[in-house]
């Protein structure tokens, strides 16, 4: 069974600095999808970034980038130039490939609570 582990329950960073959130996962699949979702105090879950396992290039979205290490089954999120609005719970998630059919559910980590301090 797939599992997703986020080993940092809480983190903090100063505004304008860079922070990295870690995520590891366990799977026997070769192709799959990885996600980082953000849940601010307002509670709406928002997709931050998505990575397809068959792509070697790390995904980036503005100040957000990932370090995807397939062999190590690691998928860390780097936030550059942290802003106060980045304060949120960050969840790492895994999904099986298309050929898994109706069994394609998101497997969630426990989350990392990130506080950006002024």
Partner 1 sequence: EADIYQTPRYLVIGTGKKITLECSQTMGHDKMYWYQQDPGMELHLIHYSYGVNSTEKGDLSSESTVSRIRTEHFPLTLESARPSHTSQYLCASSEYWADTQYFGPGTRLTVL
In whole angstroms, what separates CA 5 from the centre of its chain? 10
Q: Is 88 in the site for partner 1 (CB under 8 A)?
A: no
**Choice from 59, 88, 109, 114 touching partner 1 (CB under 8 A):** 109
Smaller CB separation from partner 1, 16 or 100: 100
Q: How far is CA 22 from CA 2, 42, 105, in A?
A: 17, 23, 21
Q: For the chain, count helices (H), then strands (E).
A: 0, 12
Q: CB within 8 A of 37, min separation 6: which ones?
A: 45, 46, 47, 48, 90, 91, 93
Q: Is 68 in the site for partner 1 (CB under 8 A)?
A: no
Beta pairing class for 74-79 and 88-95: unpaired
Q: Is 44 in the site for partner 1 (CB under 8 A)?
A: yes
Q: Is 104 in the site for partner 1 (CB under 8 A)?
A: yes
User: Of the ranges 13-21, 38-46, 60-68, 74-82, which one interacts with partner 1 (CB under 8 A)?
Assistant: 38-46
Beta pairing class for 3-5 and 74-79: unpaired
Q: Is 84 in the site for partner 1 (CB under 8 A)?
A: no
User: Of the ranges 12-20, 65-73, 74-82, 94-102, which one interacts with partner 1 (CB under 8 A)?
Assistant: 94-102
Chain residues binding partner 1 by CB under 8 A are 33, 35, 37, 42-47, 50, 89, 91, 95, 98, 102, 104-106, 108-111, 113
């Amino acid at each position: 069974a797939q599992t997703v582990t986020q080993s940092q329950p809480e983190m903090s960073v100063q505004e304008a600095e860079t922070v990295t959130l870690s995520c590891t996962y366990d799977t026997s699949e070769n192709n799959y999808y990885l996600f980082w979702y953000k849940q601010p105090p307002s509670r709406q879950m928002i997709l931050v970034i998505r990575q397809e396992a068959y792509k070697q290039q790390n995904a980036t979205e503005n100040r957000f980038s990932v370090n995807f290490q397939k062999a190590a089954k690691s998928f860390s999120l780097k936030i550059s130039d942290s802003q106060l609005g980045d304060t949120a719970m960050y969840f790492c998630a895994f999904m099986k490939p298309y050929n898994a059919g109706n069994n394609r559910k998101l497997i969630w980590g426990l989350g990392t609570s990130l506080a950006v301090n002024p």
